[in-house]
Amino acid sequence: MAQAFPTRPAGAQQPVRRSRVVPIQPVPPHRLLAVYLLLALGLGGLALRLAWLQVVDTGNLQAKARAIQTQSQRPLGKRRTIVDRNGRLVALDEERFTLWAHPRYFNFPGDDPQKLRRPDEVASRLASVLAVPSESLLQTMGARPSGVKLRTNIDPETAARIRQLGISGLDLEAYPQRIYPQGSLFANVVGFLNLERVPQAGLEQSRDRDLQRQETTLTMRRGADGTPLPEGLRAGSLYGDDLRLQLTLDARLQQVAQQALANQVKKWNAKRAAALVMDVRNGEMLALASFPSYDPNRFWSFNPGLFREWSVQDLYEPGSTFKPINLAIALQEKAIDPKGKIHDGGQLTIGGWPIFNHNRQGNGVIDFPTVLEVSSNVAMVQAMAKVKRERFWHWLHAMGIDTRPDTDLPGAVAGELKPRPLFTSHPIEPAVAAFGQGFSLTPLKLVQLHAMLANGGRLVSPHITRGLRSGDALAPTPGSSGLQVLDPSVTRTVMGWMETVVDRSDSLGIRVPGYRIGGKTGTAQKAERGVYIPGSLITSFVGHLPIDDPRYVVLVVVDEPKGGNTYGSTVAAPVARQIIDALLVLEQLPPSRPQELAGAKVRR
């Protein structure tokens, strides 16, 4: 069956078919040349730029890369620790923090990064950690968007709890703070730093350079993911300065001395008092206490006059405590016989000036141990009159009365001695110098001179530091030192006389069963600008122990005690006895007379 197909009607037009082939037309040569030149210029520019970056600008690019890759940590400026002779902490730096708030960045952990927390929400979480009302924190922040100091002096434990909160917009800034764990115990010699960490007194000021840690800015390079790169560390970058300044002072003995001084100052309503203990072999100070004192942790609450150690910086006339030194001069000059005697009539006149004993009474013919025991001014004047005035002045000068002591104690000053022409031409000058007046020195200088008597005539340098030590290491006790000034036989003779003073005077209260101790009291008029102040006294006591093998000298000075019966024996000696008792125990000194000690125990 044939299939029929539709047919196009007659007269219908055929559809027009368009060709999709674009005819190729020749490109003008000038256009090809322009494109070629443009590409060549671009490649040339890139090549020049690459050459510039790799050859000329390489240093700048490396600097920018290091700035991105390198993290620098600036040092906090910490200071070295100070310890006593046994390693007890005296001064140290502790890390403290300042808390800054930036309210425009407040965000809690887990929040959307774009979410901003209100200040009251942050304050409510901080209040419990800082132990302050949230209202106080809100008031501090106010409406400021950033840079708000919320709190300072935050301890490390509190700072760690703040970090655990994880609050964005809180910033902890670390800084060091100087702490003095012993309070007022060493304030007179160590000093303090002010709120700007500038040393103001004591060793903090005089040894400032030694107390500054050797710190460098820590620089570390990191990779793109923050991993530390070892090549970024320079030699010594991780060095830790653990040096400590070790003192010669003993905190235990210092505590005993300061407490005894405080009690005696209050009892006698005195102006001030000081106690010094020196190792006569090498000049180490085991105690240098004074009262009143101050707390360096709260220095702003105290009178600035307390910030100086007066026993090192203030002059006074030593009085009778200088008599043993004068007798040593007379023996050295062979002007007196150690077994000789002298007549004490109670008074005499020198150059028109009357001189009396303290009780205005004579003692007759007495030997030199008795001269010290009764503290006879008249006998001392007659004994020292046998020494030529030129030689007397020479010895006072040679012993350094008018020169600054060689010491590391800050602020130490020289004493005052009359000029040689005046001393030698006016008889009254050597006369009053014979019993310790008419010239002045510091208690520190007097301790040094008495140490010279005890150690066989060597003038040692008083000092309170042993130097810098690493970590927990402590320096050993140094050996004997000092310049030989007096003959050892002379000093042994005088030490024996001073032992007689203690043995013959039960009322002095210095005798300790089993131990040989020497001593001398002093009660001198106090002078100001060359004029003696009526009724103003300065009392003192100096002791040596043990006499058979001298190791320590103890000096106690009490300034302006008030009331009746104010003498060195009643005011200063009781303090010295407490210090001596503690010294015997702490230094474990063996008794010189064990049988006497055993007898004392039996009698008890």
DSSP letter string, 316-348: B--GGGGHHHHHHHHHHTT-S-TT-EEEE-SEE
In whole angstroms, what is the distance from residue 518 CA to residue 502 CA?
6
Whether 531 has a pLDDT exceeding 90, the answer reads: no
In whole angstroms, what is the distance from residue 164 CA to residue 167 CA?
8
Mean pLDDT score, 427-453: 95
Residue 287 inside a domain? The answer is yes
| CATH assignment at residue 461 | 3.40.710.10
Tell me the per-residue pLDDT of 8-55, one tens digit each, with 9 for 90 and over: 555 555 555 655 776 777 778 888 888 888 898 889 888 888 888 888
Among 121, 151, 179, which residue terminates a domain? 179
Is there a single domain that holds both residue 156 and residue 272?
Answer: no
Residue 474 inside a domain? The answer is yes
Residue 454 inside a domain? The answer is yes
Q: Would you say the pTM of this structure is higher than 0.85?
A: no
Q: What letter represents residue 295's amino acid? A: D
Whether 219 has a pLDDT exceeding 70, the answer reads: no
Report DSSP letters for 442-492, one per residue: -HHHHHHHHHHHHTTSEEPPPBSEEEEEETT--PPPP----EE-S-HHHHH
Is there a single domain that holds both residue 394 and residue 512?
Answer: yes
| CATH assignment at residue 123 | 3.90.1310.10
Among 179, 204, 230, which residue terminates a domain? 179
The residues annotated with a catalytic role in the active site are 320
Among 179, 213, 231, which residue terminates a domain? 179
Query: With left for phi above 0 and alpha for psi between -120 and 50, is residue 235 left, alpha or beta?
Result: beta
Mean pLDDT score, 198-212: 91
Residue 69 inside a domain? The answer is no
Residue 379 inside a domain? The answer is yes
Q: Domains in the chain: how many in total? A: 2
Residue 65 inside a domain? The answer is no
Residue 12 inside a domain? The answer is no
Pair 325, 341: CB distance under 8 Å:
no
Largest CA distance in the chain: 181
Query: With left for phi above 0 and alpha for psi between -120 and 50, is residue 139 left, alpha or beta?
Result: alpha
In whole angstroms, what is the distance from residue 371 CA to residue 414 CA?
29
Tell me the per-residue pLDDT of 292-343, one tens digit each, with 9 for 90 and over: 999 999 999 999 999 999 999 999 999 999 999 999 999 999 999 999 999 9
Strand locations in 326-414 (E) = 341-344, 347-350, 353-356, 364-367
Tell me the per-residue pLDDT of 479-517, one tens digit each, with 9 for 90 and over: 888 899 999 999 999 999 999 999 998 889 999 999 999
Structural domain of 265: 251-603
